[in-house]
Amino acid sequence: MRIAQLSLVLLMLAGCAKRDHQADQFQPDPSELVAAISINPATLDPALSQDTITNDLMLHVFEGLVGWSPDSKIVPKLAETWLISPDGLTYTFLLREAKFHNGEPVTAVDVLASWERAARKEVASPVVENYLGDIEGMKELIVGKADHLSGVEVVKDRVLRVRLVAARASFLGKLTYPTAAVLPAGTGLVRDVAHMIGTGPYRMVSYTPEAEIKLARFDDHYEAPPAIERLTYRVIKDPQTRLGQFRTGRLDWTGLSQQDYLGLQGDPNILFAARPATFYAGMNGTVYPPFADRRVRQAFNHAIDRKRLVEDVLGDLGVPAEGILPDAVPQLKRKKPTLEYDPARAKQLLREAGWEGKLPPLDLWVSDSQGDRRRSAELVVSMLREHLDVPVQMRLVEASVVIQKATRRELGFFFGSWYADYLDPENFLSVLLSSYGQNRTNWDNAEFTRLCRAADAMPDGAARLQAYAKAEDIALVDAPWIPLYHPREAVGMRPGLTGLQSNAFGLLPPTGVRRAATSPPLPGRSR
């Protein structure tokens, strides 16, 4: 299996902009790191986490049995070692000696209780079946037909045995997701900071919505505690404000939009990450009846010029999507049946479907806090109006609103994204588009689902990739999505910081970050 390696490029160039005297007077606290996020976390409960910003926060505070290394490989976390039975159905985990933030030791009972908690009605994780549904008895627990998780056995205080309903090549990858995080037995729904008791390298100190999140290092972590004592994330929704605070040294790092990146070329250190993610527009025919006809969905695909979208909006920070699976995900390399930009064909399909000039008003639901996403959606709306005369407009709302409504399958047309939780085709195809997955579009294709079910149960190898390739081809032609682009992310990093690590899934918790004793010139300042 090919694992993507992130390309890290540090541009050690100083700008020649006008000297900023306010920045000259600002000196960072050597015991604190300060970064920016663009939205509030959608939840404080790891079992309910579904977006990348919330997931990143969870990785600081909570841990599962396994996690990801800087080179994007599965590594031990709370599980010190594990054994897999020859038939792939039984996993036996030996837990390491670790403590929760409240000082209590982690036991196998806590692991079992945490997984059962995610499935119970009081928490009702919307994704627990996707990530823990391979465990024997989990589906029965979710629907209330069982009162305990029959497939998990506490053998000893630090030994846990897990039985699966079928062999799954992706099982360990799923255990890296926050839904599988371990909390103290007896934890209910996590509603506030006081209940955020994990085992991670940081512990939560405070959270003020629309303002900031404060964390402190956990000195009793089983690995070396973070080098810097405190970590603050400021919630800054406006890109210009984020950029201004970064320029004046009030942020140690921040994500950069395409506009920010162009304005900072040659100034800061920039860390580039080719993320295994796909941005798309989802079409739900149950909510918006014209989308029930695949010719309408195909017409919408043919009306979008992906190359122009990337060139005009994203530049270096995006690649036009030729399919659903990004390149970093192992897959069969082939020419995919992408519905290419073809306005004439789009009009013909809409005419054949009987909807030419008759489409009812349509809203494209989009997060209001991310500039590149919003600008991409604006261009999609413009192309649909131009080529198909669609009465469509953008509906800008909080990111959490789009996620929640799309998860409940309430949106007819929405701008979505999916960042890989683990590098496997199952994470995109089975999880997102099968009849047993999240499937926010309500699309249902029996042959697609059959192929996914078969591939999910196969061992790694060519036959498995072939089955997923056939499934992806079906989805591209049947078109419940308009695949738009795969992102390439840029993070501006304050000069003088060392040890900031990332992998295919984004920035890792900054446990090894250190600040130079003498700060180099800030971005936008002369030497």
- Give me the CATH topology for the region 277-487: Dipeptide-binding Protein; domain 3 (3.10.105)
pLDDT value of position 137: 98
pLDDT value of position 316: 80
Q: How much is the average pLDDT of 72-87? A: 96
- The residue behind tokens 């950069």 is 256
Q: How much is the average pLDDT of 58-66? A: 97
pLDDT value of position 519: 59
pLDDT tens by residue, 415-468:
999 999 999 999 999 999 999 988 999 999 999 999 999 999 998 999 999 999
pLDDT value of position 501: 87
Which segments of the chain belong to CATH 3.10.105.10?
A: 277-487
Which segments of the chain belong to CATH 3.40.190.10?
A: 8-20+28-38+201-268+494-527
Which is nearest to 475 in space by CA: 428, 513, 515?
Answer: 428
Which is nearest to 355 in space by CA: 414, 409, 294, 412?
Answer: 294
Q: How much is the average pLDDT of 129-157? A: 96
Q: How much is the average pLDDT of 16-29? A: 51
pLDDT value of position 272: 80
What is the residue-wise DSSP string for 199-239?
Answer: -SSEEEEEEETTTEEEEEE-TT-SSPPPSSSEEEEEE---H
398 against 95, higher pLDDT: 95
183 against 526, higher pLDDT: 183
Rounded to the nearest 5°, which phi and psi values hold at 447? -70, -40
Whether 360 shows a pLDDT value over 90: the answer reads: yes
Question: Do 342 and 388 form a contact (C-beta atoms < 8 A)?
Answer: no
Q: How much is the average pLDDT of 122-141? A: 95
CATH number of 46-184, picked from 3.90.76.10, 3.40.50.10880, 3.50.30.60, 3.40.50.280: 3.90.76.10
Query: Model-level pTM?
Result: 0.82
Question: Do 159 and 94 form a contact (C-beta atoms < 8 A)?
Answer: yes
Q: How much is the average pLDDT of 294-318? A: 95
Secondary-structure class of domain 8-20+28-38+201-268+494-527 per CATH? alpha beta
Which segments of the chain belong to CATH 3.90.76.10?
A: 46-184
Q: How much is the average pLDDT of 84-92? A: 96
28 against 185, higher pLDDT: 185
Q: Using CA atoms, how far apart are residues 495 and 139, in angstroms rounded to an integer?
A: 50
Cβ contacts of 113 within 8 Å, gap of 6 or more: 183, 184, 185, 186, 187
Work out the percent of the chain whose per-residue pLDDT is above 90: 75
pLDDT value of position 21: 41
**395, HSE (Cβ side, Cα atoms, 13 Å):** 15
The pLDDT mean for the chain works out to 90
Question: Do 291 and 285 form a contact (C-beta atoms < 8 A)?
Answer: yes
Q: Assign 188 a pLDDT band (cuts: 50, 70, 90).
A: very high
Q: How much is the average pLDDT of 496-515? A: 89
How far is C-alpha 390 from the geometric centre of its chain's CA atoms? 31
Give the length of the chain. Answer: 527
- What is the helix (H) or strand (E) element at residue 93, kind and residue range? strand 90-95
pLDDT value of position 10: 31
Q: Using CA atoms, how far apart are residues 501 and 419, in angstroms rounded to an integer?
A: 18
361 against 241, higher pLDDT: 361
Cβ contacts of 43 within 8 Å, gap of 6 or more: 49, 54, 190
Cβ contacts of 72 within 8 Å, gap of 6 or more: 3, 4, 5, 6, 423, 503, 504, 505
Whether 409 shows a pLDDT value over 50: the answer reads: yes
Strands 212-217 and 159-163 turn out to be unpaired
Which is nearest to 294 in space by CA: 336, 348, 342, 353?
Answer: 353
Q: State which amino acid sits at residue 66.
A: V
How far is C-alpha 461 from the geometric centre of its chain's CA atoms? 26
Q: Assign 523 a pLDDT band (cuts: 50, 70, 90).
A: low
- Give Cα separations from 523 to 7, 39, 259, 269 (angstroms): 22, 24, 16, 8
- Give Cα separations from 322 to 156, 325, 486 (angstroms): 49, 9, 9
Gyration radius of the chain's alpha carbons: 23
Q: Using CA atoms, how far apart are residues 222 and 236, in angstroms rounded to an integer?
A: 33
267 three-state secondary structure:
coil
Lowest mean pLDDT among 139-143, 208-212, 513-517: 513-517
pLDDT tens by residue, 252-283:
999 887 777 776 766 657 888 778 999 999 99
80 three-state secondary structure:
strand
Supply 412's token pair: 């007819």
- What is the helix (H) or strand (E) element at residue 377, kind and residue range? helix 371-388
